Amino acid sequence: MSAVFDLSTRRKPAFKLPAGSTDAHCHVFGPGDVFPYASNRRYTPDDAPKEMLKSLHDFLGIDRAVIVQASCHGNDNRAMLDALAWRPDHYRGVAILDENSSGNDIAAMARAGVRGARFNFVKHLGGSPDMDVFNNILRRIKPLGWHVVLHVDAPDIIPLSDMIRNLPLPFIIDHMGRVPAKDGLDQKPLLALLDLAKLDRCWIKVCGAERIDFPPYDKAVPIARKIVDTIPDRVLWGTDFPHPNSTHEADEADLVDLIPKIAPDPMVQKKLLVDNPAKLYGF
């Protein structure tokens, strides 16, 4: 990881981010000798601790972040919570919870700055959660004003749509639903995603261009822009640093420079980067 993260070799993005910009989807990994990875993990990342994340954000001009618990740490949220405690005015978190998460644990997370729970429905990362546990956790976090983050694959958007429509709290779809950029704007999974976006409880992250396309991400831009145009008040942007399980080595400067293509209007850029995450996460 250190070679990839040598900032002396990295370019600055051409696009200047507005003050208060938020990376609404990023991770911290380890360090593994302090915060061990889950024994049942599907992948083992290189360490990417909180100091690395802050260095990247300083380099890019990002002021705030939402640190999303990743599956390689499972329901051990300590690395994420450690980062929140380090910069409580600048960081918020999204946790992974399960049937062993106590009420005291959840209350402590809320005080620490956690504002949501994430569930993975992606088959190569373990597939769907136990739905009894899923629904129980939603009932427990709803009174806290939290939301639920759904990591889904494009082929599963339509089969999951009825369940998603009936969720009793705000929900976020990660990574544009991972719809394949090559399949364009008329593909059925994207149309289903945009149909869900009609619900005022639906938020979508227009991050993950590197998951659905390859540089220079020309096919991902129309998809992201369509989502932003559809729900400008309920979109979020993030780097997805450090890009676990990515198909290629992504340069965050390239991802930042997609923003004016995704949201050409400076007022919409401010919503995407500053106002929307501030509203949802209480910055």
Query: 7 or 171, which is more confident?
Result: 171
Q: Which residue among the candidates 174, 213, 240, 275 is catalytic per the annotation?
A: 240
Q: What is the pLDDT of residues 39-57, one digit of tens each?
A: 989 899 999 999 999 999 9
pLDDT tens string 12-29: 999 999 999 999 999 999
pLDDT of residue 5: 61
- Tally Cβ neighbours within 10 Å of residue 109: 24
For 241-283, how does the pLDDT look when each residue is reduced to its tens digit (9 = 90+)?
A: 999 888 898 999 999 999 999 999 999 999 999 999 999 999 9
Mean per-residue pLDDT over the chain, rounded: 95
Distance, first Cα to last Cα, the chain: 30
pLDDT, residue 107, reads 97
- Tens of pLDDT, residue by residue over 214-231, are 999 999 999 999 999 999
274 phi, psi to nearest 5 deg: -120, -60
Fold of 21-281: TIM Barrel (3.20.20)
Active site residue 240: yes
pLDDT above 80 for 6: no
pLDDT at 3: 37
pTM: predicted TM-score of the whole model, two decimal places = 0.95
| pLDDT-derived band at 4, boundaries 50, 70, 90 | very low
Do residues 80 and 116 lie in contact, with contact meaning Cβ atoms separated by under 8 Å? no
- pLDDT score, position 254: 97
Q: Average pLDDT of 205-214?
A: 96
Backbone angles phi, psi at 73, to 5 degrees: -95, -5
Distance of CA 168 to the CA centre of its chain: 20
Tokens 């939290």 sit at which residue? 146
User: What distance in Å separates the CA atoms of residue 101 and residue 82, rounded to the nearest whole number?
Assistant: 18
Q: What is the pLDDT of residues 179-192, one digit of tens each?
A: 999 999 999 999 99
